[in-house]
Chains A and B, each alone.
Chain A
Amino acid sequence: MAKELKLMKGNEAIAQAMIASGCDGYFGYPITPQSEVMETLMAEKPWETTGMVVLQAESEVASINMVYGGAATGKKVATTSSSPGISLMQEGLTYLAGAEIPCLIINVMRGGPGLGTIQPSQSDYFQSTKGGGHGDYQLFTLAPASVQEMYDFVFEAWDIAYKYRNPVLILSDGAIGQCMEKLYTRDYVPRWTEEERRANAPWGTWGKPASRGHNIITSLELDSAKQEVFNHKLQAKYRVMEENECRYEEIMCDDAEYIFVAYGSSSRISMKAVQMAREKGIKAGLFRPITLYPFPKKALAERAKQVKGILTVEMSAGQMVEDVRLATECNVKVEHFGRFGGIIPTPTEVLEALENQIIKG
């Protein structure tokens, strides 16, 4: 697929981006609202074209561990799921982070807790950015707000994952996964050759030649002193990500007196609320974090200096709002507005919340 304009579902875009970005393998398990990812892959049969392997696993527990096994050989491997399935994967995610295995995980969020609902939600922010599994670790977390970004972020995820030897999570939701939008496809990136795999993953378990010692992929270190040193190394890596990789978008923020902070679907709704506010003479803007981890703290703190109040808009009971308050160090009023359990807020509601909770409040 060369560069073309297409109309596509977010979930289909993920599948097409995997094939086009040189992904070596996908392992998944069906769950609403992201089942189209594997359905698209199985219909496309990339094993006949690019050589990409696709396998339906017996559970999300198995699929994340297949990601571990495959990615530990230095191949580009991905899985996708939705909230309850991502919960099942938490064990695998902490092992992946602990063994420093680059890979891609995509969560097309639905409402919780428990089996919850199959409708869109954003209530997995804590799980994604604060470590849903055990131990001190971070997933590099990207939040797409359009079908185009669903597609593009898959391409970008591989570079980040390999740059830092870290799992990358794309945190999307059922609205972006299910909606159809136009998107520009990219030129095919071929899958790595054997030589490229070995060069890009010298640590990989791809068969020990006589020229090197055996490569071991593990997250186990029984010597606590060594494990502490390793933890320091991980933390140092996370600090470098925080310094260099924060991504965000600011819309109509230059003269803004009030800003919304929102990511993913909520940022799309907030964008409309910004337009409606401006029509009423309210100088509103939108700050959209694109990386949720690392969270763009410095940029937000800088923008917060000029504004009278901030409203975070999330399809949750209030999760990212904690990071917004930490970033702004309570120097400005920060309130949360959320609909959840599968309900998507309207722009009108969001604007009313700004007026009631921030401007009048």
Chain B
Amino acid sequence: MNTDIVKPENLVYSRTKVLTDATMHYCPGCGHGTTHRIVAEVIEELGIQDQTVGIAPVGCSVLAYNYFDVDFQEAAHGRAPALATAVKRLNPNLFVFTYQGDGDLAAIGTAETIHAANRGENITMVFVNNGIYGMTGGQMAPTTLVGMKSATTPYGRNVELNGYPLRLTEILATLPGTYFVTRQSVHTPAAVRKAKKAIKQAFENQKLKKGLSFVEIVSNCNSGWKMTPVQANKWMEENMFPNYPIGDIKVEGKLVEGIGLDRLVVSSPLTVK
């Protein structure tokens, strides 16, 4: 390799040192890899690698602790916000973040999520929503849309049989303990930049001690959705985004202008197009 071109003055971008050299197990085309990278870049840019503790979930990102070069704890399924609560309360100088999927955060861990948010824990939560249980083979998640096929809704999610999809991020925005609530995606370069900015804000907020910062990343699951990565991203834009709208919901403890009751109260089921 010609190393002349990587002289420091020529370097415009490099892989963040906050990611380890471990080979990620994520499926090609999945949003987890990108989300990991931008979280790691934020940690590097803020210079907090030595003050950060991450909490990994159970689900596709169960091995996140192998990829981030920061101290990490692996939680039982759904319990990451409880772990993070104690890490932060006992070590207020640390930056603490959870990294969870929709099954972990919005099904089995609903209680821990809501109560950590409602207590106003000064932590950052990163929530990757791909509408499915990826790790266990593509079963219905709390965020699976009505009509969406999964391993346990082979004929499509049916309200009578399966109940409604849950938009937990909007619920969290209504709680006094959340300071910053946003929904982003990482499927285009522009989206990645916005998502990274949101994650950076969510980490910086920990210094303010004004409550929980929550970043949802709407992502794809091309393996679970049985699509190519390109098809999956297109399907996500057409079906997930209308039901899980991208953008800030709550900033500096206040609902963003234009976020009204029609958004916070789901009046018609979140359905595939």
Which A residues have a C-beta under 8 Å from some C-beta of B? 24-25, 27, 53, 55, 57-59, 61-63, 65-70, 72-73, 75, 77, 91-92, 95, 99, 204-210, 213-220
Name the residue on A nearest B115 (C-beta). Answer: A58
Is B75 engaged at the interface, CB distance under 8 Å to the other chain? yes
Number of interface residues of B (CB under 8 A): 35
Contact B86 A25 (CB under 8 A): yes
Given A207-B51, A215-B71, A220-B62, is A66 in contact with B76 using a C-beta cutoff of 8 Å? no
Cross-chain pairs A/B with CB under 8 angstroms, 26 sampled:
A25-B89, A53-B90, A55-B85, A58-B111, A58-B112, A61-B112, A66-B82, A66-B85, A68-B76, A68-B79, A68-B82, A69-B82, A73-B91, A73-B94, A77-B86, A205-B53, A205-B73, A207-B50, A207-B91, A214-B72, A216-B71, A217-B72, A218-B56, A218-B73, A218-B74, A220-B63
Contact A69 B74 (CB under 8 A): no
Contact B75 A73 (CB under 8 A): no
CB distance from B7 to the nearest CB of A (A): 25
Contact B86 A69 (CB under 8 A): yes
Contact B49 A69 (CB under 8 A): no
Chain B neighbourhood of A69, CB < 8 A: 55, 73, 75, 82-87
With beta carbons under 8 angstroms apart, the residue of A66, A73, A210, A213 that contacts B50 is A210
Chain B neighbourhood of A220, CB < 8 A: 62-63, 74
Kindly identify, within residues 25 to 82 of chain B, every residue whose CB is under 8 Å from any CB belonging to chain A. 49-53, 55-56, 62-63, 65-66, 68-76, 79, 82
**Distance of A16 Cα from B200 Cα, bound (Å):** 42
**Distance of A62 Cα from B76 Cα, bound (Å):** 11
Name the residue on A nearest B69 (C-beta). Answer: A214
Chain A neighbourhood of B86, CB < 8 A: 25, 27, 53, 55, 65-70, 77
Chain A neighbourhood of B71, CB < 8 A: 204-208, 214-216
Contact B76 A95 (CB under 8 A): yes
Which B residues have a C-beta under 8 Å from some C-beta of A? 20, 49-53, 55-56, 62-63, 65-66, 68-76, 79, 82-87, 89-91, 94, 111-112, 115
Given A72-B83, A208-B49, is A219 in contact with B89 using a C-beta cutoff of 8 Å? no
Contact A99 B74 (CB under 8 A): yes
Chain A neighbourhood of B20, CB < 8 A: 214
Contact B79 A62 (CB under 8 A): yes
Give the A-B pair count, Cβ closer than 8 A.
Answer: 131
Contact B74 A219 (CB under 8 A): yes
Contact B51 A24 (CB under 8 A): no
With beta carbons under 8 angstroms apart, the residue of A65, A205, A208 that contacts B82 is A65
Contact A65 B76 (CB under 8 A): yes
**Distance of A91 Cα from B109 Cα, bound (Å):** 14
**Residue among A53, A55, A70 with max Cβ neighbours from chain B (10 Å):** A70
CB distance from B24 to the nearest CB of A (A): 14
With beta carbons under 8 angstroms apart, the residue of B52, B63, B76, B87 that contacts A73 is B87
**Distance of A77 Cα from B50 Cα, bound (Å):** 23
**Residue among A68, A75, A99, A214 with max Cβ neighbours from chain B (10 Å):** A214
Chain B neighbourhood of A62, CB < 8 A: 79, 82, 85, 111-112, 115
**Distance of A250 Cα from B70 Cα, bound (Å):** 51
**Distance of A11 Cα from B88 Cα, bound (Å):** 27
Contact A207 B52 (CB under 8 A): yes
Chain B neighbourhood of A27, CB < 8 A: 86
Chain B neighbourhood of A218, CB < 8 A: 56, 65, 72-74
Given A207-B52, A207-B94, A214-B68, is A65 in contact with B83 using a C-beta cutoff of 8 Å? yes
CB distance from B88 to the nearest CB of A (A): 9
**Residue among B52, B62, B82 with max Cβ neighbours from chain A (10 Å):** B82
The 7 nearest A-B residue pairs measured at CB: A69-B83, A70-B86, A218-B74, A205-B71, A65-B82, A69-B86, A65-B79
Contact B70 A208 (CB under 8 A): yes
**Distance of A89 Cα from B86 Cα, bound (Å):** 16
Beyond the given A55-B89, A73-B53, A216-B74, could you list 9 further A-B residue pairs with CB under 8 A, ordered by the A residue number?
A25-B90, A58-B112, A61-B82, A66-B85, A73-B87, A77-B90, A208-B71, A214-B71, A217-B74
Name the residue on A nearest B82 (C-beta). Answer: A65
Chain A neighbourhood of B83, CB < 8 A: 65-66, 68-69, 72
Contact B55 A92 (CB under 8 A): no
**Distance of A53 Cα from B89 Cα, bound (Å):** 7
Given A62-B79, A77-B86, is A72 in contact with B73 using a C-beta cutoff of 8 Å? yes
Name the residue on A nearest B66 (C-beta). Answer: A216
Name the residue on B nearest A211 (C-beta). Answer: B50
CB distance from B63 to the nearest CB of A (A): 8
**Distance of A266 Cα from B127 Cα, bound (Å):** 50
Chain B neighbourhood of A75, CB < 8 A: 90-91
**Residue among A67, A69, A204, A216 with max Cβ neighbours from chain B (10 Å):** A69
CB distance from A30 to the nearest CB of B (A): 15
CB distance from A103 to the nearest CB of B (A): 11
